[in-house]
Amino acid sequence: MAAVKRWTVDDNHNVKEIHKVVVYRFSVCDVDDPDLYAADPMWKWQNSDAGKFVFEHAIETPSWHRNHNILTMGNEYIIVAELELKKLSEFYLRWPS
């Protein structure tokens, strides 16, 4: 969820709350080149309605991260984005899962 937050101030001196959140998560089994296998789900998500919304409204370009899952001996991928509180609320309302 929204664990890290920061604030910015716009030109009109309005404070905006920014949250860094995981917007997409998936797993890839134990393969020789997991990044190659992860490219297709990331590309499909980026071109979905949720992905387009995140890329359009993110403060900075979203980033992806790979973590090794010792329980499944596979890899877990996450896409992290920074969104304003209003846009984050809209994202959760439109795509609750």
Q: Which two tokens stand for residue 55?
A: 């890329």
Nearest-5° angle of CA 71, CA 75, CA 79? 125
pLDDT value of position 7: 64
> Residue 30 has what DSSP assignment?
S
Nearest to 68 by CA among 81, 78, 56: 78
Residue 85 confidence (pLDDT) above 60: yes
Name the band, by pLDDT with cuts 50, 70 and 90, for residue 16.
confident
Mean pLDDT of the chain: 89
Interval 20-59: pLDDT, tens: 999 999 999 988 999 999 999 999 999 999 999 999 999 9
List the domain boundaries for the chain: 19-94
